[in-house]
Structure 1
Amino acid sequence: MSLSAPTATRGGPVRWSVAGAAGLVYGCLLVVPFVLVVVFARNYPLHALGWTDGEPTDNDGVLPWLVLLVPLLLLAVAGWVLLGLLGRRALGLPRRQWHRVRAGLAVLPSAVLLLGSLLRSVF
Structure 2
Amino acid sequence: MSDHSIDRETGLTLDPRYGPDGLITAVVTDVATGQVLMLAHMNAQALDLTVATRIAHFWSRSRQSLWKKGETSGHLLHVEDIRIDCDQDAVWVIARPAGPACHTGETSCFYRRVTAEGLESVAPDA
> Rg bigger for which structure?
1
Larger RCO (alpha carbons 8 Å, 6+ apart): 1
Larger helix fraction of residues: 1
State the TM-score, normalizing by the size of structure 2. Answer: 0.22
Larger strand fraction of residues: 2
